[in-house]
Amino acid sequence: MATMPLKNTMIDNTVEDPRQRAPLVLGNHDFTTVTETICRIPEASRPPQAWYIAFAVSSTLTLMLGCMVVYLISTGVGVWNLNNPVGWGWDITNFVFWVGIGHAGTLISAILFLFRQKWRTSINRFAEAMTIFAVVCAGIFPGIHVGRVWLAYWLAPIPNQMQMWPNFRSPLLWDVFAVSTYATVSLLFWYMGMIPDLATLRDRARTKIRQFAYGLLALGWRGSNRQWLRYERAYLLLAALATPLVLSVHSVVSFDFAVSQLPGWHTTIFPPYFVAGAIFSGFAMVVTLMVPAREFFGLKELVTPRHLENMAKIMLATGCMVGYAYSIEFFTAWYSGNVYERFIFMARAMGPYSWAYWTMVCCNILTPQLFWFKKCRTNPWILFAASIFINIGMWFERFVIIVSSLATDFLPGSWGAYAPSWVEICTFIGSFGLFFTLFLLFVRFLPMMAMAEVKSVMPQALHKQGEHQGLGDYWGDMPRGHEHKPGGHDVHH
């Protein structure tokens, strides 16, 4: 197992130098060392002890989630503290929270890909994995929150003896389609992007099992020119397909609220507001996971401060959008003259849930303001702390929207209040357990970074292909760069 000696130690690649593109891989890396750095993590015979501890904790929490779900399904949704005015509480809050987190992956893979943001290469695999795991967690909540879970399949448009279609007018049904499509495309995108790297792992495998398993997953990838051609076409197509999904899934999730006529939900601003919030929270979660991971697995040269800074900038931008949405909601409520709308916003700020509202405002509006300062953008631990706050804030955003609107709607006679039961709390904590369990399995067995793609943004990629001088630079055209490469040139170092 080779560890790379860092000869020219970290240069600051966050400095904007107009004369040259900032390097995206630091250290004295060549293709071999990149492969080594990334592959040694899944190839280690035993993961570090910390992995075991983390896995023990997270799998225990997953078990708790399982118990909570079994308890819920065997007893009834009543084990949660939902009530008559507040029909949705932590369940849907958690759903929207996790779906929101699941936004960053596809955004990074697809949109940044189409926009030729080469810095995405170091984080896209990681973020896509996070997306999928977040969507898994998200999918649990609407699945189990229904009263009769065993009939939840009625949501699918399956021909049946009742000759009943689901109600295509219902935003919840759109949700089913949106989220399941998103999950499918994200999974495909993630998996397809991983095929060359899986082939690398297969080729490096030292045991039969690993060879077989990675071989199976690599689908016979040989790195031939033709394969690369097809691969990159498909990748581009999937990216194009995933791009509208990034925007649609959270827009559709927001329709759950916007299409209803409940004050506080019935707002046309929701789709862009939710998408911005989702990107905001998604990036925050990527940072939350990436900062310790790069530290822990020695990936600082691949996930450089510039990567972190770019993510901070996106968080600053989306955080400001979210802040704008918060304020424009108040303006609209006031300007509309709708008494119910006005009250619900007053109640959010000054009513029984004001503590949640102000938590949300502090976390989501004030925290990203730190990112105006370069030090905060580039210091991983400040970023890490800020991202945690943003995660908290974004959870509260969904809580405030869902619960405060439901608790005090039109008729004061039916106003109510809601606080979670222990089952809801444990289920939410358990969903983090599931998320981290999946994540720990991912870092243990799969390449955490897209090796092939990282290599393509390294200077070496440029020098090797004379005919494409100038294309491999920072703003270059990455996929086309591959098309003309001799087959599988860099995979087998």
Task: Select the residue interacting with other proteins from 7, 19, 46, 169 (CB under 8 A).
Answer: 169
Sites for other proteins among residues 12-71 (CB under 8 A): none
Among residues 56, 114, 158, 339, which is the contact residue for other proteins, using CB under 8 A? Answer: 339
Residue 285's nearest CA partner among 361, 371, 358, 386 is 386
Q: What is the DSSP string of 83-129?
A: -SS---SHHHHHHHHHHHHTHHHHIIIIIHHHTT-GGGGGTHHHHHH
CA separation for the pair 271, 274 (Å, rounded): 5
Which of 14, 32, 59, 83 touches other proteins by CB under 8 A? 83
SS3 content of the chain, % helix, strand, coil (to 5): 70, 0, 30
Name which of residues 174 to 193 contact other proteins (CB under 8 A): 176
Segment interacting with other proteins (CB under 8 A) among 7-15, 105-113, 183-191, 415-423: 415-423
Q: What are phi and psi of 272, to 5 degrees?
A: -65, -35
Among 45, 163, 167, 207, binds other proteins (CB under 8 A): 167
Q: Is 268 in the site for other proteins (CB under 8 A)?
A: no
Chain-centroid distance of CA 419 in Å reads 28
Shortest spacing between CB 25 and other proteins, in angstroms: 48
Q: How far apart are CA 198 and CA 77, in angstroms?
A: 42
Is the Cα dihedral 368, 372, 378, 382 positive or negative? negative
- Nearest alpha-carbon partner for 488 in 237, 240, 232, 233: 232
Q: Is 148 a binder of other proteins (CB under 8 A)?
A: yes
* Among positions 67, 187, 259, 328, the unique one binding other proteins when judged by CB under 8 A: 259
Rg (CA), the chain: 24
| Closer residue to other proteins (CB): 248 or 460 | 248
Minimum Å gap between C-beta 255 and other proteins is 10
Select from 5, 18, 159, 413 the one that contacts other proteins (CB under 8 A): 413
Number of residues that bind other proteins (CB under 8 A): 58
Toward other proteins, which CB reaches closer, 176 or 458?
176
The residues of the shown chain that bind other proteins, judged by CB under 8 A, are 75-78, 81-88, 142, 145-149, 151-152, 154-155, 162, 164-167, 169-173, 176, 256, 259-262, 339, 343, 346-347, 350-352, 406-418
